[in-house]
Amino acid sequence: MAAHRIGLTMRSDRAPGHGEIRDVLARDWAAFMAAVLPEAAWLALPSAPGAAEECIARWELDGFILTGGNDLGQDPVRDAAEKAVLALALARTLPVLGVCRGLQFVQSYFGGRIARADPTVHVAACHIVHLAQGNRTREIEVNSFHRFCVREDDLVPELSPFAVSGDGCVEGARSRDGRIVCLQWHPEREETVSETDRGLVRSLFGWE
């Protein structure tokens, strides 16, 4: 069944000169959702305690995207909100896309280890990953904006890798039932969405 109403979590940011902690969503996401999932409505989910669950119930959301930004532990409020979202999605077998931090968050949720990434390869750079498709493997180039990573040897048993970088970091993983797909790169930051990213996202949310 296709997901028709998708909730996107937001990063936390401190407003310069005000000291307020704000939930923010890059404008890239609006363009990405319009390009990749025009059939679906989407809603930004607040990180306030209980607010995400209330939005999920009120708007009858049936799919989720854990967006990037913020290292794990940087904002315990966001961490708690996303933990509640992921727990609900797992309980109801609803699809979840984890992007960048999202991959690390899912790994951590299941008790897995997070490692430091090589900044010369993974911070504000592009690099090649080996992408498995069926019985074949091909190389694609992806963007990279993360200081932490998941090593292939550390990946939790709940996830299976389908994309790995040359230095052994997991760049793509999915749950055994296919309901969770995690990408270490940012598909929303590309000027033109790749067919690989389009296919992964549309398949996850049931539109292919």
From first to last of its 208 residues, the chain has per-residue pLDDT tens of: 899 999 999 999 988 878 789 999 999 999 999 999 999 999 999 998 799 999 999 999 999 999 999 999 999 999 999 999 999 999 999 999 999 999 999 999 999 999 999 888 898 999 999 999 888 999 999 999 998 999 999 999 999 999 999 999 999 999 999 999 999 999 999 999 999 999 999 999 999 8
CATH number, residue 182: 3.40.50.880
Exposure letters 100-130 (e unless 16+ CB within 10 A, then b): bbbbbbbbbbeebebeebbeeebeeeebebb
Domain count for the chain, please give it: 1
**pTM of the full structure:** 0.95
Which amino acid is residue 87, in one-letter code? A
| DSSP 8-state assignment for residue 169 | B
Instruction: Write down the residue that tokens 């890798």 correspond to.
Output: 161
| DSSP 8-state assignment for residue 46 | P
The residue segments making up the domain with residue 40 are 5-204
Helices (H), 37-176: 51-59, 76-92, 101-109, 119-122
Burial zone of 93 (CB within 10 Å; 0-12 exposed, 13-18 middle, 19+ buried) = exposed
As a whole number of angstroms, the distance between CA 125 and CA 174 comes to 24
